[in-house]
Structure 1
Amino acid sequence: MPISRFMKNALTAAIVTGGMVVLAATPAQASTDVTVHSSPCPVCTTDGYGWFKADPIGSTPGDALKACDLRADGYSIKAWLYNRDTGNLIRTVSTAGHTANYCTDWKTGDLPEQTRVWLDVCTMDGTRKIRCDGGEGWS
């Protein structure tokens, strides 16, 4: 049985409208903090960590990076924040030159919302990487 012109127009409108609803209902990626620990083994005490904080809370700024050295072992902790999609370095922080139980200040700068970031954190002996780990977050 042939479909009338009216039915074709109604069906087309329903498909287009339904498609718009589906597109509009797709959720945006939420901001996600990431903390990465540098540790000599999965069950060992951490050497330190890097922390990307996506959104500001109180006096803690957003799109911010810090590194903390927790172990008095002569090594430092260095953190690199990259744009996950382009590979471009966004910012870096290091505890080099400070004694253990030291955290850097927050290093911050506005990022476009929903920027996918990658955080690399390494225990460093001068400029030599001893051990590293990484993780993903979103601004």
Structure 2
Amino acid sequence: MRRRRLATVLASTALAAGTMLTTATPASADPNFTFSYTKYSSGSLVINVYTNGTHSGRAEFQADPIPDAVPGDAIRAQDSLDDGWGIKAIMTFPESREVSTSGHPSPYTTGWDTGDLEEGETVIMRACATKSGSSYCSPSYGGIA
């Protein structure tokens, strides 16, 4: 009788454990990131970042200065969605520069990171969504200084 009771308890425990394992919710997956860009006749460009279809930020290159407002040959990043992901603007050519919203609460826009590029120089940059060592990046897009 005692063995039968022990077998019943063990079988019930195994069944309960199996049920808990099969009904556990899977770990949440990373969001789906997509990108779009606009290149302006001035050479400036904006790369928009979307998280699961919702606009979540942007990376910008400003080719020419706007007096008393925006410097020229400058990049910045903007995070507009409070989802724990930061936005990074990365210039890879003709020089290496990057700015990031990581570590700041959203909404947040970085300051302009400026330089002095030769007029007519091709500028290559991309946008990335970053979080805890993970990055999802746009293709590289070109503007004109």
TM-score, structure 1 normalization:
0.68
Does 2:61 align with 1:55? Answer: no
| Alignment partner of 1:38 out of 49, 53, 57 | 49
Q: Are the structure 2 counterparts of residues 101 and 68 from structure 1 closer, same or farther at C-alpha, using a change threshold of 3 Å?
A: same
Aligned-residue offset at 1:89: 4.1
| Deviations 1:23-50, CA, capped at 9 Å, x for gaps | xxxxxxx740000011135xx2222100
Q: Are the structure 2 counterparts of residues 31 and 82 from structure 1 closer, same or farther at C-alpha, using a change threshold of 3 Å?
A: farther
Q: Which has the higher contact order (CA 8 A, sep 6+)?
A: 1
Aligned-residue offset at 1:135: 2.0
Q: Is the 8 A contact 1:39 1:131 kept in 2?
A: no
Q: Are the structure 2 counterparts of residues 48 and 134 from structure 1 closer, same or farther at C-alpha, using a change threshold of 3 Å?
A: farther
Alignment correspondent of 1:64 = 74
Greater Cα shift, 127-136 or 46-55: 127-136
Q: Which structure has the greater CA radius of gyration?
A: 2
| Deviations 1:60-115, CA, capped at 9 Å, x for gaps | 000000000010000100111122xxxx5431100011011100000001101111
Alignment correspondent of 1:17 = none
Q: Distance in 2 between matches of 1:101 and 1:134?
A: 25
Q: Which runs of 4+ in 1 moved over 3 A?
A: none
Q: Which runs of 5+ in 2 are unaligned?
A: 1-40
| 2:127 partner amino acid | V
Q: Distance in 1 between matches of 2:132 and 2:64?
A: 32
Q: Distance in 2 between matches of 1:108 and 1:131?
A: 22
Aligned positions, number? 104
TM-score, structure 2 normalization:
0.66
Q: How many percent of aligned residue pairs carry the same amino acid?
A: 35
| Alignment partner of 1:101 out of 89, 107, 113 | 107
| 2:48 partner amino acid | H
Q: Distance in 1 between matches of 2:50 and 2:83?
A: 12
